[in-house]
């Protein structure tokens, strides 16, 4: 009921505006250079189910194209990926589970064995022993 009311009001307004205008420039500005073939939106009560489906599909496709924001969607996807990876990494490597049997203790041990060698306390273990022997002769 409401779409029909809006469509009929739009038809009346445009037709009355066209009749009341006397100059051709304002008429051309209201209607454009081409004459409309159809009133939009169509009256769905007069259409068959097949035609209704066609109009709905066309409208949804045009709506998707008009509201597409590829940059924003890419940013949101990357933000979601970053947040999920960071929460998972924190839960595996740093979170205190407060339980005796930590399910990720093996992964934690391997990680800190590899990256623990980069701490300043273990710097002397990383150095080449030949260079240390030259720098500090006995």
Residue 129: is its pLDDT beyond 70? no
Q: Specify the range with the lowest mean pLDDT, choosing from 93-97, 107-111, 128-132.
A: 128-132
Residue-number span of the structural domain to which 23 is assigned:
1-37
When divided into structural domains, the chain yields a total of 2
CA 117 to chain centroid, in Å, comes to 40
- Pick the more confident residue, 107 or 121: 107
Whether 66 is in a domain gets the answer no
Whether 12 is in a domain gets the answer yes
Whether 50 is in a domain gets the answer no
Whether 115 is in a domain gets the answer yes
Q: What is the pLDDT of residues 30-72, one digit of tens each?
A: 667 888 787 777 888 899 999 999 999 999 999 999 999 999 9
Whether 56 is in a domain gets the answer no
One-letter-per-residue 3-state SS of the chain: CHHHHHHHHHHHHHHHHHHHCCCHHHHHHHHCCCCCCCCCCCCHHHCCHHHHHHHHHHHHHHHHHHCCCHHHHHHHHHHHHHHHHHHHHHHHHCCCCCCCCCCCHHHHHHHHHHHHHHCHHHHHHHCCHHHHHHHCCC
The pLDDT of 125-132, averaged and rounded, is 56
Bond prior to 41 in cis (omega within 30° of 0): yes
Whether 131 is in a domain gets the answer yes
């Amino acid at each position: 009921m409401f779409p029909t009311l809006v469509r009929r009001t739009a038809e009346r307004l445009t037709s009355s505006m066209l009749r009341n205008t006397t100059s051709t420039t304002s008429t051309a500005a209201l209607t454009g250079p081409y004459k409309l073939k159809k009133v939009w939106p169509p009256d769905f009560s007069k259409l068959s189910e097949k035609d209704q489906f066609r109009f709905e599909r066309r409208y949804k496709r045009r709506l998707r194209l008009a509201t597409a924001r590829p940059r924003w969607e890419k940013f949101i996807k990357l933000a979601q990926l970053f947040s999920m990876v960071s929460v998972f990494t924190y839960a595996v490597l740093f979170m205190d589970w407060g339980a005796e049997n930590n399910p990720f203790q093996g992964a934690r041990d391997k990680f800190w064995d590899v990256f623990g060698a980069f701490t300043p306390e273990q710097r002397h273990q990383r150095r080449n022993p030949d260079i240390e022997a030259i720098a500090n002769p006995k």
